Every structure is written in structure tokens, then in C-alpha cells.
Amino acid sequence: MVILTSLPLFEQNSSFVDYSSSIYDIPYKTFRMRKYDYYIWLDVNGDSLLPSYNRMTIEAVEPTDSVYFHFILRDTAHGSDLSIDSIRFIHGADTLIPYYRLIEDTMVVVHLPMTIPSGQRFLIEVYYHGRAGKRPSFAWGSSFMVGMYWFDSAIFTHSEYYGTRMWLPVFDNLYEKVDTVDARIRVPYGWYAVSNGHLVDSLALPDGIVYWWRESHGITPYMIVFAALDRSRYLILDSTWTYGDVNMPVFVYTDSDTVPTLRYMTQGLDVFSTLYGIYPFYDEKYSEVHVGGGVEYQTNTFSHYIFGQRVVIHELSHQWWGGYVTCGTYNDLWLNEGFATYSELLYMEFADSTDVSGYRRSYYRQYLLRTGIHNVPLNSPQYDGSLMWTYLVYDKGAAVLHMMRYRFWRLYGGQYSGDSAFFQFLQYYKNRHARSYVISQDLEQDVESFTGVDWSQFFEQWVYTPGHPVLDVRWGKELSGSLWNMAVVINQIQDDSWGFFTVDYPVRIRFSDSSIVDTVLPLTGASSDTFYLSFVSEPVSLIMDPDEHILDKVNSLVAEDEINETRLYRIFFRGDNLFIRTPEDDMYRYRIYSVNGRVVSEGKFRGPEYSIVLDVSPGIYIVELLSRTSRKVFKVIK
Ligand SMILES: [Zn+2]
């Protein structure tokens, strides 16, 4: 039952969130938060919280005699000045006042008056009031503030990342999802409050209205949010999203009545429900609140209409990737942001039937052009906090997800059947981690168990090691009898520390008669691979990765007059006989594969000439020759 075993002890480097010398992460604990039931009374004119509370339902997963949670009481530099009025402990019929202490105004430790046996639940109520402020969400390079925003006509929270603790006492880590959050927000007459989940009730009191919202699905702390809005300024636009038997309300809280957001939302709900499985919170709602930010919060994104369709789609997709399945650490943020970024491309592809290869190129270029982010692995952006909300996490993350999809096409016999399997896989992964959290290794294990294929090299080179292939390509051709032989030499010239990539690399060959062949050259993880191909027509150009599947940079592509080696090796079928001529009289090991990777023959021979009887069906075969000094790969046609 200890849920922290697969996580690093401390999620982040304490110097970087700018909570200097604060303890804000706990490597191990004996309890688990199950429910938050909070009440916030807004003093709209005084910009402060009148007596408010959070009632936490806590379960002891081991015998528990103290609990701790995050709460930033005072941060005068950023306008926070909260006071705890009291803390109560409730266990069965007992209500007691426990001893508690603060750790540097950022954590509260409560010593329970008894030891709670494992499996039992108890309540901790924290009563507080004062001013909740906001502070930079990370140390370098961002003006984005988390905490509570106080404007004349809107009061709202932003909590990614580690901002919930600025206004609500919670255990504020990604992986601690509570089952339920009840939010009661008290606002003056003429105001409205919206939060996660669905509206349970509203209660009119002499001095205001309490709006009671409930999120009944698991929710990670950063997704907890509310907004209080002056109705004289903010409109509520609404519609219904219909999907099968489901009719779900969608809302936009905005100050313009002409925004197309509702239409983008319902279209996006259709597309992503088809690809990823139905919108996970379909028994609640989806809304956007136009107070700015562009941040996904569960069932209730904060954004602005000036951001346009792309941001609507991005944030909506986070309901699956971020809300329902949450990255377990901020090092694994690409499992939120890479997935949401790739969802933008999927939306274009599936909603508009657009050929997105050009868009994909522009996403890839965002990453490739910024050399400062190339030396950090995709799953380690916290190596330097300024890398977190960058093209490394978003665009390389999207590229890696696309390359997974492309590998599915290869594994499952084409784009159509490959896509069918790929989206089934995404649903499998989503369902396995529903209302829970994931790290990169979970995705790797799941794709291996789904496909039955080894993905360790893929994850090692794309996720756990920095960089991308940088290619230097030479090719040549030579007429031999009635056939054109073509040799392609692909050298990987990237930084040594990035290693050499194993990639099925797509190329397009154009011929003098204007015909085209698309084929795939399997880069083997060597510094250099040479491929030999034969055609009846004369090849006139070679295009590397024409549809932009691989995140790589082609440094140079040179057509040479001739490739000497084509004279030295000759490999061809005549009937069922495969003839091999080598430049040396060395010993060679050979292995012959069908295009789907099955070994159809293997053995040894001594050069320079040899022939093998191969009773195989006509088609393309890959011949691998290994000598003491070289490894060559040839494609031959029977
Ligand atoms: Zn995002």
C-alpha cells in the first residue's frame, strides 16, 4: 500500500522552486488523503478570505500518529498573510484539539492525540483566514504566478505547479489524488462561483450565496481550482455535448458573447472521445473560464478566447492526459504536455482530415532549433527548472509519441491497422492508470505488454538519453546489366553522448520515369549503415523522411557520382538462388530477413562468392553480412 516506491525520494531540486530551504516534499508517509471538503468565504472588497476551512479525510495506510500537509501561510514578498485559527482532529465520536507545528510557514505537522491503526480513517479540519497571495511558479524565466488572483470582477486560483498550497491546506504532490473534492465557495450576491466537477447545490444566505461543487473522480492537487465571477461582467454560455447516450453540459464563462470556444470544445470532445475513450468526466461537465492562463484544471480549464482553437484543444486533451492520468513527477511532465501537444496534431488530422506532416515539421523544428534544450533527457527537465515548460517537454514529447505511433504502423502492417492498434494501446494505458499517475517507465512497460515487442531501445534513445539523430547521407547509383544499383550510406554524426539511434528510417526515391518508391532503411544503432538497393528504373533523387516521422536533423545529403562499394558487393536473386559476391575472401556470417523482420535463413560462408537456395515467396528481403571488420545491410528483391 505504500504508493511511493517507484518515485524518486525527492521530486525536485529544492533550490529551484524558490522556496529556499523549505521542506515541501515528503519521501514517505504512513497516510493517504482521501477527500478534501473545503469552504472558502471570499471578502471581495477586502481581497481576503473570511473564516474558511478544509476538512481532510485521511486514511492511515500504516499506524499513524502524525500527519503533514503543505500550506504556505506567510510570504510577504508575494502578498500572502494567512493565519490558522484552529486545527481539529475527529476520529469516530471524538473531536480533539491536536498539537501542531509549522515548518517554515510551508508545511503543517499535526501530532495526533492517538495512533490510528492502518485502514482507519479520520478527519483533520484546518480553519484559517487572511490574505492568500500568489508567487512565481518556478524560479527562472517565467512571469506565471500561482496562488490566488484578486481582481475587481474575478477572483480565482492558479495552481500549476505547487500553487494549491498557496490558498488551501493540501498534500500538494502530483501523485496524491483524492477520491472526492467538495468545494463550497461563498460569494456576494451578483457573483457566481465555478469549480471542479458538477454543481451540487447553491445556498442563499443573508450575506451571500454558497456554490457547492463536487468533483467525484480522483483529482491531483494542482487540478483543484475555483473562480468567482462578477455576473455583471461575465456571461455564462452553455451548450450540450451529445455522444452516444451521453448528454453533458459544456460552459464558457467569458466576457464576450461571440466566442467560438463552445464549438471547439464540442468538436474536440468528439475527436478525443473517439481516439482515447469517452471524456472521463462525462457525468460532470466541461467548462472554460476566460480569466487567462491557459491551464488545464479538471473539468474546468482556465484560458482566454484570444488564445484561439489550438489552446482550447490542447487544454481539453489534458482532461485525459493530466487529469484522468497524471504524470507522477514533474520529470515526467512530457506524459502530460507531450501528449497534449500531440493531441493538437491529432485533432487537426482527425477533425479536419488535414495532412499534418507540414505541421509536424514545424513542431519538430521548434525543438530542433533550440540547441539549449538538446542535452537533457526528455524525462529529466528538472535537471534545470527553466527547461520544464519548454519545447523539450512539449515538442520532443509530441515527437516521441508520434514515433511510437509510427512504430505501430510498422509493427501492425500499415497506417490503418497500426492506428487501430495504437489508439487501442492509448486506451489500454489510460485505463490501467485511470485516476492515478504514471512515470515514463509505466508507458514503456505498458507498450511492451500490449505489443509483445521490446521497446527498451526506443525509450533508452528517445526518453532516457538526450538528443536526436544528426545524419550525414551519401548515395550513389550504377547501371549493372538491366538493373540500377543504388547505395545509400547513412552516418550518424550527432554528439557522442547521445549514442547512435536504432530507427526504421523512411525514405522516398524518385526515378527518371517520374515514378516514386517509398521504403524504409533500418538504421541499426551503428555509427554508419550502408544500404544497397536495385531498381529497373534510374533513381534520380533521394528524399529523407518525406512525411516527417522521425525527430532528426539531416545535416547533409549528397548524391555522389558513384559508390565504389556497389562494385564490390553484388547480391541478387536468380530464381531461388541468392548469389553473394564480396570484396574479400574473409569469413562472413549472413542473416536474411523478410521485410517484417522474420529470419528466413542464416549461416556462414567464405567469400568472395557464394550462393544459397532460398525457397521463399517473391518480395523484398534484407541481407545482413558481418565480417570481422564490417557490417553491411542490403535490400534485395526476389
Ligand atoms: Zn499543456
Say if residue 199 is exposed, middle or buried (CB neighbours under 10 Å; 0-12, 13-18, 19+). Answer: middle
542 lies in the same domain as 401 = no
- Collapsed DSSP state (helix, strand, coil) of residue 320: coil
Q: What percent of the chain has pLDDT over 90?
A: 70
pLDDT tens figures, 311-338: 999 999 999 999 999 999 888 999 999 9
452 lies in the same domain as 476 = no
pLDDT tens figures, 567-589: 567 788 888 999 888 877 788 99
pTM reported for the whole predicted model: 0.86
CA atoms within 13 A of residue 108's CA, in its CB half-sphere: 29
Q: Between these two residues, 309 and 13, which has the higher pLDDT value?
A: 309
Indicate the average pLDDT of the chain: 90
Q: What is the dihedral of CA 572, 574, 577, 578, to 10 degrees?
A: 0
Tell me the average pLDDT across 147-155. Answer: 95
- Please say which residue of 566, 594, 613 terminates a domain: 566
23 lies in the same domain as 106 = yes
452 lies in the same domain as 482 = no
Query: The domain that contains 600 carries what CATH number?
Result: 2.60.40.3080
Query: How far away, in angstroms, is 322 Cα from ligand 1 center?
Result: 8
Query: How far away, in angstroms, is 294 Cα from ligand 1 center?
Result: 8
Q: Say if 240 falls within a structural domain.
A: no
Query: How far away, in angstroms, is 533 Cα from ligand 1 center?
Result: 44
* DSSP code of residue 219: B
223 lies in the same domain as 340 = no
Please report the pLDDT score of residue 597 as a whole number: 80
DSSP helix, strand, coil percent of the chain (3-state; round to 5): 25, 40, 35
pLDDT tens figures, 465-506: 999 999 999 898 888 888 898 889 899 999 989 999 999 999
Listed residue (71, 199, 89, 189) closest to 132, CA to CA: 71
Query: How far away, in angstroms, is 339 Cα from ligand 1 center?
Result: 8
Cα–Cα distance between 322 and 220 in angstroms, integer?
A: 9
Query: How far away, in angstroms, is 616 Cα from ligand 1 center?
Result: 50
555 lies in the same domain as 603 = no
- Please say which residue of 439, 464, 489 terminates a domain: 464
509 lies in the same domain as 573 = no
16 lies in the same domain as 114 = yes
Q: How many residues does the chain have?
A: 638
Query: How far away, in angstroms, is 340 Cα from ligand 1 center?
Result: 6
Query: How far away, in angstroms, is 295 Cα from ligand 1 center?
Result: 7
Q: Are 186 and 209 in contact (CB under 8 A)?
A: yes
Distances 98 to 26, 107, 114, 124, 377 between C-alpha atoms, Å: 21, 16, 10, 9, 45
CA atoms within 13 A of residue 322's CA, in its CB half-sphere: 27
136 lies in the same domain as 228 = yes
Q: Cell digits for 614?
A: 532460398
Query: The domain that contains 433 carries what CATH number?
Result: 1.10.390.10
Pairing of strands 145-150, 94-96: unpaired
Query: How far away, in angstroms, is 393 Cα from ligand 1 center?
Result: 10
Letter for the amino acid at 408? F
Please report the pLDDT score of residue 238 as a whole number: 95
Q: Say if 309 falls within a structural domain.
A: no
Please report the pLDDT score of residue 141 as a whole number: 46
Number of domains in the chain: 4
**Residue 530 lies in domain:** 470-566
Element (H, E) at 200: strand 198-205
Query: How far away, in angstroms, is 185 Cα from ligand 1 center?
Result: 27
Residue 187: beta bridge partners? 209
Tell me the average pLDDT across 405-420. Answer: 97
Cα–Cα distance between 375 and 364 in angstroms, integer?
A: 16
Please report the pLDDT score of residue 564 as a whole number: 56
Query: How far away, in angstroms, is 150 Cα from ligand 1 center?
Result: 24
Query: How far away, in angstroms, is 311 Cα from ligand 1 center?
Result: 8
Pairing of strands 31-43, 180-187: parallel
* DSSP code of residue 227: E
Question: Around Cβ 604, how many Cβ atoms within 10 Å?
Answer: 10
Please report the pLDDT score of residue 563 as a whole number: 58
Query: How far away, in angstroms, is 466 Cα from ligand 1 center?
Result: 22
